[in-house]
Structure 1
Amino acid sequence: MHEEVEINTDFITLGQFIKLINILESGGMVKGFLQEQGALVNNELEHRRGRKLYPNDIIEIEHVGSYKVVKD
């Protein structure tokens, strides 16, 4: 089961999403994390923090969790 994360816009970037779920605090930390580890977005490895996430996208972050973007 995926933890649902609500957004009130049409999309959110992966970098903003990671800060929203409170696993990293700064943009610099997010950039380094994504360059080194990345995240799975809809089962595709993603390293770009500018990747747009839309409602119903599934984001999986190793050792952290699995999330589903939902519209507020």
Structure 2
Amino acid sequence: MNCRNHPEREARVSCQKMMIGYCEECLENCEACTDPCTYCKFRPQCIIWELCKKSEKRYKLEAESKGNQS
């Protein structure tokens, strides 16, 4: 499986919900979770979610989804 954002690269992890792969750079830049604000049954064991848990980008996306533009 190749990376969704960088098709020339091999995926390091894949999203179990969306069946999409992501490379190391996407994980490091928190560009991997495509929908961090809706329910995901895989979230408790999701490596992508765990890596992006404390990301500013994630907090911004969550705030925007609730209508709290910052």
Does TM, scored on the shorter chain, surpass 0.5?
A: no
- The two structures have a TM-score, normalised by structure 1, of 0.20
Structure of larger gyration radius = 2
Q: Name the structure where helix makes up a greater proportion of residues.
A: 2
